[in-house]
Amino acid sequence: MKIAVLMHFDAPSREKLEKALPGCEIVYAFDRSLSYLDREEFDREKYAKELLDADAAVGNPPPDLLPSMKKLGLLQLFSAGTEPYSLPGVLPEGAKLANTSGAFGKAISEHMLAAMLTLSKKLHLYRDDMREGLWLDRGSVTSPEGMTVLSVGMGDIGSRFLKLTKLLGARTVGIRKHSLTAPDWVDEVHLAEDLDSLLPSADVVALSVPGNAETRGLFDERRLRLMKKGAILLNVGRGSAVDSLALCRVLSEGYLAGAALDVTDPEPLPPEHPLWKCENALITPHVSGFYHLRETYDNIVAIAIENLVRFRDGKPLLTPVDPATGYRETQVWPKA
């Protein structure tokens, strides 16, 4: 089996991969001396030919290369999000798709919690005032204890975030696409059809949904105004789920207390976009995941190796993705 590795595998990770898959031909697209945090661009001119006869690929290759990878049987992404690879016609016929769902939950849920507390305690405003040398009391704040926190998306990220807020005394509510099952720290779980009825009572609404036709524009101006006045919006899934200009309007009017966005539409957010000027917007450049927490990187490597072994042995994948939805086919809740 020939494996093309299109993400940074440092020396310890290569050792693990080669030990797990002896006898396989492994082509690495990045130098082993690079740090796992490096974001060096894939050199397609140098490595495109190596991909043509790969049986499996690890990473997120340029989508336009995939049709020429006729032997590809498995594309193992290094991301939890699957767009554009889950779109019709992108993968070669018969190729399986797997993501790294489960690798990012700890890092991203902690980022969400930090953002929620920053907004509810107005720390972002005090940071702005500090730069201006202003000694200014910004008034009342809110507490997570007693809040109703609604997670739209109940995968590893959304469920872990609800667990963290539950520990702080929040009432936790989740929305899932198909099933009403949930871990025991979730007080209520609903299907997507109940979203509109749940928004008016939620103090915090957290989005961790994938990018697809169903989630695009999910939070338009109508839904933003269905939210409780003074609520907080968090988005770590895909920027396309929120109408950016409508969000600017409701923030500027003071209808929402704040919005923390690790993803935006468009992305990167252009310097002239009005969201940058919204006082109660907290914007980070899609950094809640990636490998900033070393544990996340190690989780990604472990999932990728496990799926490659299973693919070689003809066994079910650990994190298979349904190309029709872009969602992981199976759900494993984080440990209590």
DSSP structure string for 37-88: T--PPP-HHHHHHHHTT-SEEES---GGGGGG-TT--EEE-SSS--TTTTST
Instruction: Count other C-beta atoms under 10 Å from residue 235's C-beta.
Output: 27
User: Per-residue pLDDT for 25 more than 60?
Assistant: yes
pLDDT band, very low/low/confident/very high, at 323 (cuts 50, 70, 90): confident
23 Rama class: left (phi>0) / alpha (psi -120 to 50) / beta: left
The Cα 120–Cα 164 span in angstroms is 15
SS3 239: helix
Q: Which CATH superfamily is domain 105-283 in?
A: NAD(P)-binding Rossmann-like Domain (3.40.50.720)
Residues of the chain with CATH 3.40.50.720: 2-103+291-328, 105-283
What CATH architecture does domain 2-103+291-328 belong to? 3-Layer(aba) Sandwich (3.40)
pLDDT at 33: 67
Bridge partners (DSSP) of residue 2 are 25
Q: What is the pLDDT of residues 110-166, one digit of tens each?
A: 999 999 999 999 999 999 999 999 999 999 999 999 999 999 999 899 999 999 999
pLDDT band, very low/low/confident/very high, at 26 (cuts 50, 70, 90): very high
Q: What are phi and psi of 276, to 5 degrees?
A: -60, -25
SS3 184: coil
Contacts with 250 (C-beta within 8 Å, 6 or more apart), sequence order: 221, 224, 225, 256
The Cα 220–Cα 245 span in angstroms is 9
pLDDT at 49: 77
pTM, 2 dp: 0.90
Whether 283 and 128 have beta carbons less than 8 Å apart is answered as no
pLDDT at 336: 41
Average pLDDT value for residue range 63-79: 93
The Cα 6–Cα 13 span in angstroms is 13
